[in-house]
Structure 1
Amino acid sequence: MTGEQSRAGGTPADEPPVVVKIGGAKAVDPAGAVGDVAHLAANGRRVVVVHGGSTVVDEVIERLGMEPEYVESASGVTGRFTDAETMEAFTMAMAGKLNTELTAQFREAGVDAVGLSGVDGGLLSGPRKSAVRVIEDGKKKIRRGEHSGRIESVNADLLSGLLADGYTPVASPPMEGTESDGGVTPVNADADRAAAAVAGALGADLVLLTDVAGVYADPDDPDTLIESAATPDELATVENAAEGFMGKKVMAATEALSGGSGRVVVADANINDPIVAALGGGGTTIERSALGDEADGDAEEADAETGGETA
């Protein structure tokens, strides 16, 4: 019996699926996660992988002679501004390059992985945002020509069918953006929040792997790791401590829990056995009980401002 089986008190088949989000920053090494997914899948645990790709997207954009552009929302959230040309580069990098390469790594490790974009089978879908509210030079402005979306629907049947047949889905943005006239446009979506939507739809545990050990009470001091949050007050402490990119991960965590996930762990991708360690109590674990009786009402407002892939 593995340590994860022993901790949960059951067999992998009895446990909820695990959604693992692998960060796209250059500082995140996916090798440990690949090995861990192979271990979990071989022992019967159902796993869905969602990945980001901000660094490679930026590299492709620059290779095409463009400059990556990030904008700040009125609430202080930073996201990629994705115009039509940037969207082409984004799709090339995420669905064309990164998803294929990561799926190949999993298959090399013995995982029966299936690569999917959010457009495939309508895996991730919702209304396209063609304009976003941003702060520029201290002033609120509307930027038009945006290609991003708010995920409102997850094709959980597609994922459940693949999992039941022994496959491990490896998914990433772009998502299926629906236009006001009913048309479909591939659009950008934040990968943390995509993973949250998937975890909520499947009732899965969510592990958000990044390049730090979790959420720190003092963002500059790794010795101040917040190990868990199980009450609304403890969640408020985590939210107040989360700065920059970590703020979006905590936002994603609350969305996953609101959607049906039992727990979310923010943990280090670059340690040995990062997923098993996270599920066994490593990193920062946020329990569903931390929401109390409150539903998260900030997600739609934040998405209305800016919601592109950043990590």
Structure 2
Amino acid sequence: MKDNPLVIKLGGVLLDSRDSMKIFFDFLSTYFHNYSRNLIIVHGGGKIIDDMMKKIGMNINKINGIRVTNSSNIDIVVGALAGIANKRILSYLKRNKINFIGVSLSDGDSVLVERSKKLDFKNHTGIPKSGNPKLLFDLLSKKILPVVSSIGITKYGELMNVNADLAASALAKTLGADLILLSDVSSVLDKRGNRIDSINREKFNALINDGTIKNGMIVKVQAALDASEVLGKSVQIASWKENNEKLKLLFNGELSVGTFVYK
């Protein structure tokens, strides 16, 4: 088993399914109480944001799968991610007697966040980079599991929505950790539905051009490639739906069950 920390990015429909949450966090409890590897959870919560915006009649605007976050909706995004999604995860950790704390990217300057320069000054889309590991290492030394929402704060005090995959990669860089992107998608698949063991940027572009990779998977693999470049090592895309034995080996760094993405 590896002795460096493991950053687990949770995504997909997991946060919206009580049954799936129970199954996954029952496994996580068993792992947490029986293995010494330090874990950090990073999460988004896109569907929760969408549901909140629909309830109050706000338009949902995305470009190439990326949410447009601005001054009109940033408070909704913060409430959904740092509030509902974060506390929903904490509630399952509490049930499983796991010591936890809910934080954002900017607590302790763990991840530094700047406003995206590709957009205008009204946007609230943040670009993350590695920060100070002290707070999180202090928590991990006390066997406390940090649950990190993908909300950041700039040095000017501006709230920013950060892509959760990129947030997880910046956090992994901060801690010298490995990174697994867990979602409802088990791996990148070829046209026959078979698992692609590994993928780099050249292969990624070819698979987009021939229509194998499309829609939301483009965003996910792009984020994984960016994360791999930041970390200088491969990143694994896998599913929380795998059985407990496979998840255990995956978390220990002893098994590949998804797709390795490397620069």
Q: Aligned partner of 2:258: which letter?
A: G
Match of 1:22 in 2: 10
Match of 1:267 in 2: 238
Q: 1:180-219 residue pairs with structure 2 within 5 A?
A: 183-218=156-191
TM-score normalised by the chain length of structure 1:
0.72
Choose which of 18, 26, 48 in structure 1 pairs with 2:40.
48
Does 1:276 pair with 2:251? no
Distance 1:24 1:225, change over 3 A: closer
Q: 1:142-181 residue pairs with structure 2 within 5 A?
A: 145-178=122-155
* CA distance, structure 2, for counterparts of residue 226 and residue 271 of structure 1: 16
Contact 1:30 / 1:269 at 8 angstroms: preserved in 2?
no
Structure 1 unmatched runs, 5+: 6-13, 73-77, 133-142, 292-311
Distance 1:56 1:126, change over 3 A: same
* CA distance, structure 2, for counterparts of residue 109 and residue 39 of structure 1: 9
Aligned-residue offset at 1:261: 6.0
Aligned-residue offset at 1:24: 4.5
Contact 1:149 / 1:189 at 8 angstroms: preserved in 2?
yes
CA deviation string 1:177-232 (max 9, x = no partner): 23xxxx211111000111111112222221111122101122xx43x211235xxx
Contact 1:131 / 1:144 at 8 angstroms: preserved in 2?
no
Contact 2:112 / 2:154 at 8 angstroms: preserved in 1?
yes
TM-score normalised by the chain length of structure 2:
0.84
Runs of 4+ in 1 over 6 A off after TM superposition: none
* CA distance, structure 2, for counterparts of residue 44 and residue 57 of structure 1: 34
Structure 2 unmatched runs, 5+: 208-212
Match of 2:96 in 1: 109
Aligned-residue offset at 1:239: 5.2
* CA distance, structure 2, for counterparts of residue 153 and residue 200 of structure 1: 6
Aligned-residue offset at 1:17: 1.1
What RMSD in Å do the two structures reach over aligned CA positions?
2.4
Q: Aligned partner of 1:119: which letter?
A: S
Match of 1:236 in 2: 202
Size of the aligned set, in residue pairs, is 250
Does 1:58 pair with 2:45? no
- Give the percent of matched residue pairs that are identical in Structure 1 and Structure 2: 26
* CA distance, structure 2, for counterparts of residue 239 and residue 157 of structure 1: 38
* CA distance, structure 1, for counterparts of residue 131 and residue 23 of structure 2: 27
Aligned-residue offset at 1:80: 0.6
Moved more, 205-214 or 243-252: 243-252
* CA distance, structure 1, for counterparts of residue 232 and residue 144 of structure 2: 21
Q: 1:50-89 residue pairs with structure 2 within 5 A?
A: 50-72=42-64, 78-89=65-76
Match of 1:100 in 2: 87
Aligned-residue offset at 1:120: 2.3
